[in-house]
Amino acid sequence: MSAVARGVALLCCFAALPAHAADSEVVVWHSYRAGEALALDAAVNDFRAQHPEIQIRVLAVPYGAYQQKLIAAIPGGHGPDLFIAAHDQLGDMVKRDLIDPVPEPLSAQQFLDETLAPLRGPDGKSWGWPMAFKTLVLFYRTDQVPEPPATTDALIATAEKLTGDGRFGLAYPLAEFYFHAPWFFGAGAELLTADANDVRFDSPAATRSGELLRLFAVEKKLVPSDANGALVTEMFNQGKAAMVVNGPWFIAELRPDLPYALTPLPILSANGTPAKPLSTIEALFLAKGRARPEVRALATFLVSDAGARRRAVGAGQPVANRALYDDPDLQNGPLPVFRKQLTNTVPMPTAPLTALVWEPLNEALRQIARGALSPERAFQEAAARVRLLNQPLPAEANPAPYVLVILLALAGVLTVALWRTPTGLLSRLVQARTAYAFLLPTAIGMTLLVGVPFLMGLGLGFFAFGPGEIRFVGFANFTSIIAAQEYPITHPLSFYFTMAVTVLWTFANVSLHLLLGFGLALLLTPSWLKGRALFRVLLILPWTIPNYITALIFKGLFNTQFGAINALLEAMGLPPVHWFDSFWPAFCANLTTNVWLGFPFMMVTVLGALQAIPPDLYDAARVDGASAIQRFFKVTLPQVGPALVPAVVLGTIWTFNMFNIVFLVSEGQPEGSTDILVTEAYRWAFVRNGRYGYAAAYSTIIFVILALYTVLTRRLLSARQGARS
């Protein structure tokens, strides 16, 4: 990449980050919560007691933003000296040059072999200290399952006996590949080719794993189809699920008095091979260029047997230290079961291509679980989508012409501004300097919080990002989106398909907001209505609750097996609806949620406008013989109209970018067809291998669309007002 392009890219990517602490302080980042965070703090405090001269700062970073903060902070000399992360990001971190290898060789006598191998590179270097591992096992309620099943045939037979009357024999999130992985790898399927440049899950072995999933979900209905992590926990705690596939984090979510036990996952009866879940190694990584003696000393202590014991006893972590599994205090706990399962696991792949496979695979599992596609067809479509996403970056463009155009445009704007500057403006500014001084803080805030991020986002749209690579590509991202170069316009990933869904979504929402809001406002206006104030407060409540909370509530209401809406339909003798299995039910679920959130705004706007109408107008209309309908169209609507127009414009902009509802309720299902433009931009940035430039171009186009809508609306209003006058 040229020096000019690199400079522009760094300018666009710059973010205000806290400066790295002084060299005497060791900074540790992690994304632990609850017991795991407390156990880590206890281990750090043990080290502090031994080394009071070393200053240590431990920072918990939210999991969702963890990787992005590391990518942004470490190259600029900010962020942590040590950080705890899963090993599946190892390939990307090495390629981005975020970490250094472990300075000293790691001992196989200290750490389990299965935790060392995933952290070792092709050159034999260890790129992190293993701290713990996480994998899946079978949890079962001992009051319902006296003897755990050893094979999948026994698992199915046991689950069949315990399924019915709102109860399920087995529960796990069917549509998450992480939970399907034991059957996938146990059947002999593979994710990637040997060179990790292509996928291999469009294979007969993958199809066999899909057949088992279809048996669970469609043929025998042993597993709830809409189960998520929270629902699985609730079902197991309440005895509505007899067996659960889950990991060590699940233990902290169970009731203390719950009768349960753990066992390794069963053997697949079809081929006699043990189920092989994915294993993730949680490792302590050394940030690039931070190998100071005090940093290495802290790292060595945290992964020592003493530090590991703190985490094993305090948080129940399946630690990587071999000696802990001989500790008599830990023999009766869950750790031996996880240790036994670890011998039949597949380490989470670290190749950069892996980041692209999860979304298509999850969609394939959803299709199989609802019987929409055969396992063979579903995995074939998932592989095709990964290959479509795994296209090379656009060719590098020469940034010089673009820089020249920007400079000429700035010169033109400056020239026009100077040419049109009124005479004596400077003297008037000096006279009003006190007023402008009061406006200055607001102007600075708007510039930093709105102007700078907008320009950064606009600039990012001219770059393509890959692991460890930034490339100036000019208008390539915009051209690819507008010209639908990568996908046909009828494909859910196409800009035009998503645009059509967004327009339909916006029109339907704003129309229903307006109709419901106007109707309720008319009902609450008459003075003879008793309890008007109470009704108004109750109807405004949906607007006051944060929309993400409402979205999660409605997500539960629309659950296929346990949702209140399907329960009501069944009580009325109607069949339950699989809300997220096809476009229109999923779209209606999103629409219902957002209408519930949006109608109070229109209602309040109309109420204010109705109260401002002089009663004399209605009296005069009655004297002239106008009917109620005539009074509505000749008096009410013309008087309320001026207040409604800005409300509709604002509501349209809000709805057009209503991220939370679509992202949390339908999650874009099925196959991303209910995604709108803003959720699609998010997925390009944070789900599909970090295509930030493409996502920035997407966002810029969204801004242009809304800007054009605003300008057009203003002109239409101005023309209408001019015609009236």
Q: What single-letter amino acid sits at 96?
A: R
- The distance from CA 302 to its chain's CA centroid, rounded to whole angstroms, is 31
Percent of the chain's residues with pLDDT above 70:
95
**Global model pTM greater than 0.85:** no
Joined tokens for residue 446:
């708007």
**CA distances, 634 to each of 163, 237, 637, 642 (Å):** 63, 61, 7, 14
pLDDT averaged over every residue in the chain: 87
Dihedral sign of CA atoms 422, 424, 428, 429 in order? positive
For range 691-708, the mean pLDDT: 91
Set out the domains of the chain in order of their start, with CATH numbers: 3-134+280-347 (3.40.190.10), 137-276+352-389 (3.40.190.10), 398-447 (no CATH), 495-691 (1.10.3720.10)
Q: Which of 109, 115, 242 is nearest to 171 (CA)?
A: 242
For range 180-185, the mean pLDDT: 96
Burial 359-391 (b: 16+ CB within 10 A, else e): bbbbbbbbbbbbebbebbbbbbbbbebbeebbe
Q: Say if residues 320 and 131 touch (Cβ distance below 8 Å).
A: yes
pLDDT digits (tens, 9 = 90+) for 229-281: 888 999 999 999 999 999 998 988 899 899 999 999 999 999 999 999 999 99
Out of 247-251, 357-361, 619-623, pick the least confident. Answer: 619-623
Q: Say if residues 557 and 563 touch (Cβ distance below 8 Å).
A: yes
Q: What single-letter amino acid sits at 354?
A: T
**CA distances, 75 to each of 339, 474, 654 (Å):** 37, 25, 36
Q: Which of 228, 107, 256 is nearest to 561 (CA)?
A: 228
DSSP state of 104: S
Q: What angle do helix axes 452-460 and 692-724 make, rounded to 10 degrees?
A: 120
Of the two residues 690 and 639, the one the predictor is more confident about is 639
Strand 99-100 vs strand 346-347: parallel, antiparallel, or unpaired?
A: unpaired
pLDDT digits (tens, 9 = 90+) for 297-324: 999 999 999 999 988 888 888 999 999 9
Strand 99-100 vs strand 278-287: parallel, antiparallel, or unpaired?
A: antiparallel
Task: Name 173's Cβ contacts closer than 8 Å, sequence gap at least 6.
Answer: 179, 227, 228, 229, 232
Of the two residues 415 and 132, the one the predictor is more confident about is 132
For 45-83, the three-class secondary structure string (H helix, E strand, C coil) is: HHHHHHCCCCEEEEEECCHHHHHHHHHHHHHHCCCCCEE
Q: What is the pLDDT of residue 8?
A: 41
Q: Say if residues 506 and 652 touch (Cβ distance below 8 Å).
A: yes
Strand 82-86 vs strand 137-141: parallel, antiparallel, or unpaired?
A: unpaired
**Residue 244, H or E segment:** strand 241-246
Tokens 């012409």 belong to 401
CA distance 501 to 674: 7
Q: Say if residues 263 and 190 touch (Cβ distance below 8 Å).
A: no
Taking 50 as the threshold, does the pLDDT of residue 7 lie above it? no
Q: Helices marked H in 612-691 — which ranges?
A: 615-623, 628-631, 637-656, 659-661, 677-686
Q: What is the pLDDT of residue 420?
A: 72
For range 464-486, the mean pLDDT: 84
CA distance 309 to 12: 45
Strand 99-100 vs strand 168-171: parallel, antiparallel, or unpaired?
A: unpaired
pLDDT digits (tens, 9 = 90+) for 441-454: 998 999 898 888 88
Q: What is the pLDDT of residue 11?
A: 42
Task: Name 176's Cβ contacts closer than 8 Å, sequence gap at least 6.
Answer: 362, 365
